[in-house]
Structure formats: C-alpha cells, structure tokens
Amino acid sequence: MSKHEPSSPAACGPAETPAQDAAPARCRLSAFGITTVLHRFGTADATDGAGGTVALHGFTGNGTDFSPLAAAAGSPRLAWIAPDLPGHGKCRVDEPENGYTFEAVDALIEKALARLPPGPRRLLGYSMGGRLALHFAVRHPRAIDRLYLIGASPGIETARAREDRHANDLLLAARIERDGIAWFAPHWEARPIIQTQDNIRASWLEPMKTRRRCLDPAALAHSLRGLGTGAMPSLWDRLPTLHVPTTLFVGETDTKFLDIAREMRSRCPALSLTIVPAAGHCAHLENPKAFLDVFSACLDRRQTPDA
C-alpha cells in the first residue's frame, strides 16, 4: 500500500489568491483513506440564507484555481468551497484502491456541501470536475439545488470506446510515472484543447501553471487510472432522470464539447446550454465576465439564456 503526498507549497513558490481565502478546512474521509483540504472563498453571512457553491477543478488543477473567479464574482454573499481532488493539490490518498474512485469523490463532495452556509446548495464542475459533479448529481439528486457544468461530458457511451480510452489513459499514466511532470506539463499544455488557456489573464494563468508543475506524478497517474474518462461509467442513459436545474457552459471554440453539450440537451431538454463567447475549453477563466453574467443570473433566479 503506497502513499502519495504532493510537494510542499513552499517548494512550489507562492500561489496567487486574488479572493479572500479563509484557512483551508482539513477534510478526512477515513473509509477511503483520503485527507484533503477545502479551499474557502467569499465572506457569506451564515444567517442570510444565500447558501453557496462547491466547485470541482479540472485534471491537473486544484481548488485554488477558483480563487480568481470567486473574486471576480464581486459579491460578498457568495460562498465558495473548492476541494483538492484525489491526485491533485494537497490531497493525500493512503489507499489508492479506495481513494481514486467515483464513490470516494461522491463522499468528498457530500462533505464539502455540508460545509456550505445555510441556503441553496450549488455544485459546479469544470472538465474532469464536471464529470464528477454530474456523477454525483445523478446519484444524489436531492443533495443539491443547482448544477453547473463547464466543458463536461457524461462519459463515453459505448463499452468498446470506453475500453479504448481507458487503455490510452493507462499508457499515459505509465508515462507520467516514468517521465515525470517535467515531461507531462508541457505535453499537456501543447494539446489544442488546453492551448486556449493562453487566453486566461497572465496573473491567473501563471500561478495555475506553477501549481501544475508541482503535481506528484504517481498521484496524478492514479487519478487518471481511477477517475479518467475511460474509467467513468457512461451517464448518457441517466440524463433523462436528471431533474436538478442544470446549466451547461461551453466555450464557443470548444467544438468537441459543444457537440457533446448539444447531444446532452437532445437527450434531456430540461438542460440549459450557454455558449461562452471568445472562449475555449476553460470558458469560465478565459472569459470570466461572460461566464459570471450568466452564473449570477442563475443565482438571482433569472432565466438562463439558451443557445
């Protein structure tokens, strides 16, 4: 049984935290051998009934990635909790066979939701975090009041395609372990779907890249094996049962996920789709104003525009 602990924050240099970040809350899930932190942003009053948002980062990210977005939201009543997911940030997994599973992440999301102030419970996920958020929502439909998915999918529908993707994920995981983050980080950033992150303002992007280069290769490889798209059960047939109000956000140049989002809507017309202009896969950070205009409208219970 192995243990994976990421590099110390000091070794990785200071992280930019534009939003007010209260001391991260330590979170322990004994049944899954996980110890992680819940990054907290915002200064919501626990008595105003506004609730809050749990935000799940993408592959190679961590909860701190949402700090500038929380600050840009510009409302003191917005409470954000963003956990470091298994394989990322300060998350430590002592039992890889249990900790890098969808069931473990479901339990982590449940813990994070319980830390929100009273009021509506919102769950937001980007890319990998979006898949994990959707997985939670279809299995715990009464646990949240609103769901936001950014550049996310319900997985791969056919068994053969899932097997092929999982095989490729296993090969990539093995190379990450063999060649390390020094090889993987530039390899990852060179992918067309990730290159659009260059549109993120430098003061936000550079700390993200610094954190990416501090990832533990063994932990990241475990995350890819256990939580990658190839390991995820298809949720396509569960979409019609999704009754939580859900908004899909996709950058206008993210053609792959735009096609996926439109197909999701055809399976479940109750979903709302918002195309974020001048943005790619990381739409919420590439064009935060356009994203937050719609996100804030959802908070205010105004109608979400549909594309």
State mean pLDDT over 136-163.
97
127 found inside a domain: yes
CA distances from 307 to 206, 245, 248, 276, 290 (A): 32, 16, 10, 10, 14
Which pLDDT belongs to residue 158? 97
- What percentage of residues in the chain have a pLDDT greater than 90? 78
Which pLDDT belongs to residue 197? 97
- Helix (H) / strand (E) element for 202: namely helix 202-212
Beta carbons of 125 and 144 less than 8 angstroms apart: no
CATH number of residue 163's parent domain: 3.40.50.1820
Length of the chain: 307
Please report the sign of the dihedral spanned by the C-alpha atoms of residue 39, residue 44, residue 45, residue 47.
negative
State mean pLDDT over 106-110.
98
Could you tell me the pTM of the whole model?
0.91
State mean pLDDT over 170-199.
97
Judge whether residue 110 has pLDDT over 90.
yes
Alpha-carbon distance 190 to 96, whole Å? 29
3-state DSSP call for residue 56? strand
For the ranges 14-18, 199-203, 255-259, 279-283, the lowest mean pLDDT is seen at 14-18
> Where in the sequence is the domain holding 228, given as residue range(s)?
18-299
10 found inside a domain: no
Residue 32: phi and psi, rounded to 5, are: -115, 5
Judge whether residue 307 has pLDDT over 60.
no
26 found inside a domain: yes
The total of structural domains in the chain comes to 1
The confidence band for 22, taking pLDDT boundaries of 50, 70 and 90, is: low
